[in-house]
Structure 1
Amino acid sequence: MLLPPIHINLVILVIIVLEIAIFVNQLLFYMARPYEKNRLYHVILTGLLIVYNMCENLLIMPDPRIPLPIMAQNIISDSAGYFLTMYVPFYCYKTLGLEKLRWHGKYGYLFLLVPTIFMYFIHYPIYNDFEFTAKYSYYAPAMYAIVALTATFRAIRAKYREDHNKAGYRERLWIFVAVVIWCISPAIDELWSTQKWIISAIFNNVNFLLMSGFFMRQTIKRFLVEYDLLQRSNTTLSEKVKERTIQLERSNEQRTNTLVNLVHETKTPLTLINNYLEEYINKHGYEKELAIVKNNIDKLNKDISNLFDLERYNKGFVIYNHGQVANFSRILTDNLVLFKVYCQKKQITLRENIGGDVLIKADPGAINGIVNNLVENAIKYTDEGGEISILLQTGAEEIIFSVKDNGIGVSKDLHDKIFEPYYQINSEKGGFQGMGLGLPIVKKTVADLGGSISIESNPEVRPGTRIAIVLQKYVPGEGKPVISDYSVSRYSGLELGRFSISDSLYDEKKQTILLVEDNSAMLSYLFKKLMKKYNVTVAVNGSEALVKLRHYPATPDLIISDVMMDKVDGFKLAKILSEDPDLKHIPIIFLTAKQTPADKSYGLRLGALDYIQKPFNTEDLLLKVASMLENAVQQRRMMLDSALKALKSAGNLEFRQKEPAPEALSKFEQNCRAYQLTAREKDISRLIGQGYSYKEIGETLFIAERTVKKHVQNIFEKISATNKIQLINKLEA
């Protein structure tokens, strides 16, 4: 049955619609799973089959109403099947997984393409004999089909003998049979006397639909297998996650216990060291060096105690006995005696408003810790000349304790962060260093006492910070003891403060070292060790170091720098220097507590000559410094000698290699001696006389331009000259 006004069979139309649906479905699946290449090959085959059906069935009978010449309609109708068949060898090679069909998959299409082009696009347009073209165009493809099908069957059998996969063997045979039927369809056409093209088309398309159904069936089976595998994987993954979580919890528990035990064991030797040191100080007197040792032992003891307390808090242990009654006013007043001394040293005004006999039901050690941490932080982060206000007052049922300063302040986004363990505000610490455990412990202690803690600070509006703590007031009954003689700690964490360290006096005969360290005690210690032999200029961070590099009389021969510093850290300092052509030659030694292999590798990649971890041996450090500086001197001497030899051979400069006799000295040499110019000053003076600029002199003598300017300033002072002309006249007269 044909559908007017077009020549197409209703059955073929239904098949085409069905194939279009299959094509769209498979294309969408492929777009969702682009790694399934077999599906792509099937999509292409489906698309070619749709084109074949439309071309052959619409144009099987030339229609003058179609705006194409009859010859063109015949060519499109009859050759469409050949172009579809050209794809079949490649399709079989890819989908059947037969490596032995590689040659047919790559080149088999030529046996169809060449005859088709010759018969339909050359012979037919020339002779206009369609019946002859249609009849004899079958022969070459038919012969190749026999060869290709035979090779395919052999390859399928060989593959089965190789892997013995019966399911795969059946799949390949099914596709092979479909291809065989497709190839013999021209012979089937000849068995029917009428409407043979309809029978052949239906036969081929039904065969293809069955093959597509088989392909979809395999896809569904694969989806089911993947779904089952995914379900099992999810179950297995959940079990593994639970198992791994338990392992991590156990590992973390082990590490925590080890840390707590280590901290606990460290307290005993620290106590012994501290006690013996106090006895020694009492017998032999209090010296500055011993004060530094004592302060650092106290600091270490405090940090370890904080770490121990925090871990015990996290594990749910009871740290304080809050069944006691403490005199808050007395504890605060006793602590302020020590803090006032530090405020005076830093020229900070300390104002206090302390109510009398404020009692609280709490461990006095906990109250002492709260007071120490809040007041200590206020002093740390308040500049000289600042002001701190401390308030302790009571209400009807509550106690309000607040500490207010006009220091650097805390930005709003950090109000919660500062109560997290190990977090420190990135600011100028001034030598005060800690672990970031004070405020977290304060918050936990306040929570244990049923109180609250709040912070008021916004540096964008006004400087300063106010931290307020609200606790429950205690009204004692008769006969209840009050602990009022609690001994406060003699260490507040502010013992050292900022040392006043000035650069050593510059001596041009000594090499120069730039020392960058934010810990005042460490900076003072290294300064004393190095200043005996070298010029030492100091900086507390990378930003200050960059300023020193610009203003110190000479470019440092070596930089010794910490890594973790405020403003500009050691790594950033090294990177800035590496990008400066006048400073990138300066060698760097990193002296730091950062000990991970990644940190060390990064520091060395930045160009550091050494990465020394704290604690370190001072003697080893001094030996390394001496060795590096000596090597630098030798390298500069070799470079200068090479440059001088090259310049002499070129006739640019005539530097003397040997000291001539006094009578042989030139006027210039005699005047240089008379004015007591050094060898470097003499070389610079000679180059000035030859018209060299300061920059050219620096490049010639391998020194920085600002070093040249410093030497020129010294030369002018020695000779009492005010300009270059006077200088030249006095030296050459």
Structure 2
Amino acid sequence: MLVFGTQIHIVTFIFIALEFCMLIFQAARYFYLPQDKYSGWFMTLLILYLLYNITGGLFPDPKIQIPVPVQEMIAYGTGFLLASYFPFYFYKAFDLRSLRWHALFGVPLFLMSPYLVFFVIVYAVNGNLDVDIKYGMIVPFIYAIILLWVIFRAIYRKYQESRDRNKYLEEIAMYCTVTPWLAMTLFGLVEESQLVEVLCTNTGFIIITVIYFWKSAHQARLDYERQRRANMARTHTELFQANCLHFGLTRTEILIVRMLYTGLRNKEAAEKMFVSEETIKKHIQNIFRKTNVKNRSALIHKLQNPHH
């Protein structure tokens, strides 16, 4: 079932709509939190998914005012571009430094170069796409297998170093989303419908979306907990200050109480204030008298809790 009188299958259109909604949401998040570099890499991934699905769904179509050979070049080009981005995404988003060579040099040599040679230059000369696909997919297919192994090894090696289980599971899940892209190199060799191709290559998008929302929810919980603790600390500080004023403690006495909070002994407090230990003892006695307590534990409890 096609939509809007184009070559786009309804399933492809659904993926395009989902990816577009995710892109809008991600763009808003990125501009709100520009320091979140992960969002930037993920937004680029969404854009490439959109380009791949739109061009792969629309092209080739003789009704479009673009030469069919150019349409074929663009459609295959967006697929190669998306596949080429995966190593760079793992390198940057997950800080897998061992992938640097593949992300910066291996991909241009073994993925983009075959595309330019066979699907642009040779195809423009001979006009025989079947022959170009037959030979142009050999190197990318072999390199795709190598990349899958290299990425998995980089993920496992980092896990061995950091032992961050949550991060490891996230990276493995993302790895599973890109694995079906190995089949992209086979689609050119065998005739498959748009539905089979889009389901295979976009299955990972669902997993990526789940991972993204899980990561966002996890980060939101961490931010909330951090803010809650900060608010509690601020509340305790304000409450402590209010109680000190309520009991009429002087600035010197408040300073001594703060030292008692940290566990300093009388002698250590005297050294910090450059006074005698007897002076500290007299201040503490005055503090006990004003707050009507008999020991340090009772004092700390009284100043940390609301006064009734």
Q: TM-score range by the shorter chain?
A: 0.7 to 0.9
1:253–1:122 CA distance, 2 compared to 1 (3 A): same
CA contact 1:89–1:108 (8 Å) conserved in 2:
no
**Aligned partners of 2:173, 2:118: CA distance in 1, in Å?**
33
1:2: which partner in 2? 2
Change (3 A) 1:253 1:152: closer
Contact 1:101 1:155 in 2 (8 A): yes
Aligned to 1:22: 22
Report the Cα distance in structure 1 between the residues aligned to 2:241 and 2:35, rounded to whole angstroms: 32
Q: 2:232 aligns to what?
A: 235
Counterpart amino acid of residue 77 in structure 2: S
SS for the counterpart of 1:109 is helix
Find out whether 1:164 has 2:163 as its counterpart: yes
Q: In the TM superposition, what are the counterparts of 1:333-348 in structure 2 within 5 Å?
A: none
User: Helix, strand or coil for the counterpart of 1:3?
Assistant: coil
Q: How does 1:114-513 map to 2 (within 5 A)?
A: 114-187=113-186, 195=193, 197-243=194-240, 250-252=249-251
Match of 1:42 in 2: 42
The offset of 1:48, in angstroms, is 0.7
Partner of 1:71: 69
Listed one character per residue, the Cα deviations across residues 345-397 of structure 1 (whole Å, up to 9, x for unaligned) are xxxxxxxxxxxxxxxxxxxxxxxxxxxxxxxxxxxxxxxxxxxxxxxxxxxxx
Deviation at 1:189, TM superposition (A): 7.3
Query: How far does residue 185 in structure 1 lie from its aligned partner after superposition?
Result: 3.5
Q: Distance in 1 between matches of 2:92 and 2:174?
A: 12
Question: In the TM superposition, what are the counterparts of 1:532-681 in structure 2 within 5 Å?
Answer: none
Shift of 1:95: 2.1
Aligned CA distance change for structure 1 residues 254 and 38 (closer, same or farther; 3 Å): closer
Alpha-carbon distance in structure 1 between the residues aligned to 2:33 and 2:75:
35
Structure 1 alignment gaps of length 5 or more? 256-733
Deviations along 1:53-110, one digit per CA (max 9) or x if unpaired, are 0001100xx3222111111111112221001112111101122232222222322331
Q: Percent identity?
A: 26
SS at match of 1:227: helix
Q: Quote the Cα distance in structure 1 between the aligned partners of 2:187 and 2:168.
A: 27
Counterpart residue type for residue 55 of structure 1: T
Could you say which residue in structure 1 is the equivalent of 2:273?
Answer: none
Structure 2 Cα separation of the partners of residues 213 and 2 of structure 1: 27
**Which secondary structure does the structure 2 equivalent of 1:108 belong to?**
helix
CA distance in 1, matches of 2:249, 2:182: 69
Q: Secondary structure at the match of 1:97?
A: coil
- Report the CA distance shift for 1:227/1:144 in structure 2 as closer, same or farther (over 3 A): same
The Cα of 1:153 is off from its aligned counterpart by: 1.3
Q: 2:12·2:198 contact (CA, 8 Å) conserved in 1?
A: yes
Q: Is the 8 A contact 1:52 1:84 kept in 2?
A: yes
Contact 2:52 2:79 in 1 (8 A): yes
Question: In 2 relative to 1, CA 29–164 (structure 1 residues): closer, same or farther, beyond 3 Å?
Answer: same
1:574-622 CA-to-partner distances (Å, cap 9, x unmatched) read xxxxxxxxxxxxxxxxxxxxxxxxxxxxxxxxxxxxxxxxxxxxxxxxx
CA-CA distance at 1:126 after TM superposition = 1.0
Cα 1:67–1:226 change in 2 (3 A) is same
User: TM-score under structure 2 normalisation?
Assistant: 0.75
Letter in 2 for 1:156: I
Structure-2 change in CA distance of 1:173 and 1:189 (3 Å): farther
Cα RMSD after superposing both structures: 2.3
How many residues align? The count is 251
Match of 1:12 in 2: 12
Read off the aligned partner of 1:19 and give its amino acid letter. E
CA contact (8 A) 1:189 1:199 kept: no
